[in-house]
Amino acid sequence: MKSEIVKIAEGAKAASRLLLSLKTGLKNAILKKMARALIRSKSYIMKANEKDLKKARGRKLKAAFIDRLRLTDKRIKDMASSINEVAKLGDPVGTIEKLIKRPNGLQIRKTRVPIGVVLVIYESRPNVTADCIALCLKSGNSLILRGGSVAINSNIAIFDVLQKAASKMGLPKNSLNMIKTTDRKAVDIMLGLEGTIDLVIPRGGESLIKEVSKKSRIPVIKHYKGVCHVYVDEYADLNMAESISFNAKTQRPGVCNAMETLLVHKEVAARFLPSMAKRFVEAGVELRGCPLTRKILRRITVKPAKESDWLTEYLDLILSVKVVNNLEEAIDHINKYGTSHSDAIVTENHEYAMKFLTEVDSSSVYVNASTRFTDGYEFGKGAEIGISTDKLHARGPVGVEELTTYKYVIFGNGQVRK
């Protein structure tokens, strides 16, 4: 198997050289063609998906899991329109970030360029296949996809349709690749191909991400969990705080930018918490609180929050609540227990807002808005390949721009160093 995997990676590398000079117009034409092909091949894709669903039902996987796996008419249309959205985005490749003119006449252009070969390792959702293909094509990267076994038939069907459409339009051979074996050894082999593969993006559960970063010799952009906070400051507009907190927890609890812990300043806790808690309980949210929270909400069932609660990404209708003495304690709590994802303060005090925004060490920090906005589309980036919780290269939503890097292109007329 090793030689086969290495051959795929080397093919992708060779293709990546050709992609460097692919014109924006052609990229967009290929994307649009792919979107149309997806719609046209709907029934073919859904038949493949049916195989995966049958297997999943046989293995008695959870309903929520099977739902994520299922492709419907609407979901295929959504995939296609997401590809069309990527076609509409600006092309980052070739943009000049900085132009430096030196006294010796050298003109130095800091220019955005593709990264090279990107490997995406993902789990169940088959729409990831289409998103990755669109984003890597637009950013001029070769792509190697390695999807999970649960969705393997759906992934292969989507890949084949898109790959065929792209190839008809003249996309260089081996630009798009899928590892179709589900043997786990394939991943280990790829993670050792530094120099050929330039970037690894694992998308999925925590254990997948941990395993990949541990084994990889290639740079990894990690998408760990999101333990997100909303802090209701003593100077908060409490109506606004209630609506933001409610939205951050309940609008879609299963995603990484949903709130997991609510922090409340002690001066407003007695006024804010009772009606807030009532609303949460009515929406089916289980509350776990610090001693003071439980005292204030003694008429409502609030379980005692354990140390582990502050660290937990529930991804569910569960919320931990803590009353804090001041802004500093809120910031310290977030920096200690948070995951550098998305955290918000609700306050009308400008100075406090700026302190929170500066000192909370997260990729996205909010004042007076819901944490739920951290995503590529909401940030105006079109689609995203994930939300990075790393600090280097890419933080927050990873879109077309984050899939590029830069080089210095230097124009001289004979300059030599003295």
Residue numbers at the binding site for a second copy (CB under 8 A): 17, 20-21, 100, 102, 106, 108, 115-116, 198-199, 213-214, 217, 219, 237, 240, 243-244, 246-248, 251-252, 335, 355, 357-359, 361-370, 372-374, 378-380, 390-393, 395-396, 405-417
Q: Which is nearer to a second copy, 65 or 406 (CB)?
A: 406
- Least gap, CB of 378 to a second copy (angstroms): 7
* Residues contacting residue 354 through CB under 8 Å, at least 6 positions apart: none
- Least gap, CB of 193 to a second copy (angstroms): 14
Backbone angles phi, psi at 339, to 5 degrees: -120, 25
Say which residue the tokens 């993902």 belong to: 122
Q: Which is nearer to a second copy, 40 or 393 (CB)?
A: 393
- Least gap, CB of 22 to a second copy (angstroms): 11
Query: Do residues 145 and 162 make contact, with C-beta atoms less than 8 angstroms apart?
Result: no
Q: Which is nearer to a second copy, 73 or 348 (CB)?
A: 348
Q: Which is nearer to a second copy, 44 or 411 (CB)?
A: 411
Gap between the Cα atoms of 261 and 295, Å rounded: 18
Are β-strands 259-265 and 318-324 bridged in parallel, bridged antiparallel, or unpaired? Answer: parallel
Q: Which is nearer to a second copy, 43 or 358 (CB)?
A: 358
Q: Which is nearer to a second copy, 163 or 404 (CB)?
A: 404
Query: Do residues 287 and 280 make contact, with C-beta atoms less than 8 angstroms apart?
Result: yes
Are β-strands 259-265 and 228-232 bridged in parallel, bridged antiparallel, or unpaired? Answer: parallel
Strands (E), 182-277: 199-203, 228-232, 259-265
- Least gap, CB of 368 to a second copy (angstroms): 4
Q: Which is nearer to a second copy, 272 or 366 (CB)?
A: 366
Q: Which is nearer to a second copy, 189 or 367 (CB)?
A: 367
* Residues contacting residue 110 through CB under 8 Å, at least 6 positions apart: 96, 97, 98, 99, 100, 406, 407, 408
- Least gap, CB of 228 to a second copy (angstroms): 13
- Least gap, CB of 93 to a second copy (angstroms): 10
Question: Environment class of residue 58 by beta-carbon count within 10 Å: exposed (0-12), middle (13-18) or buried (19+)?
Answer: exposed
- Least gap, CB of 174 to a second copy (angstroms): 16
Gap between the Cα atoms of 297 and 281, Å rounded: 11
- Least gap, CB of 8 to a second copy (angstroms): 19
Q: Is 34 left (phi over 0), alpha (psi -120 to 50) or beta?
A: alpha
Gap between the Cα atoms of 134 and 137, Å rounded: 5
- Tokens encoding 383: 């689609």
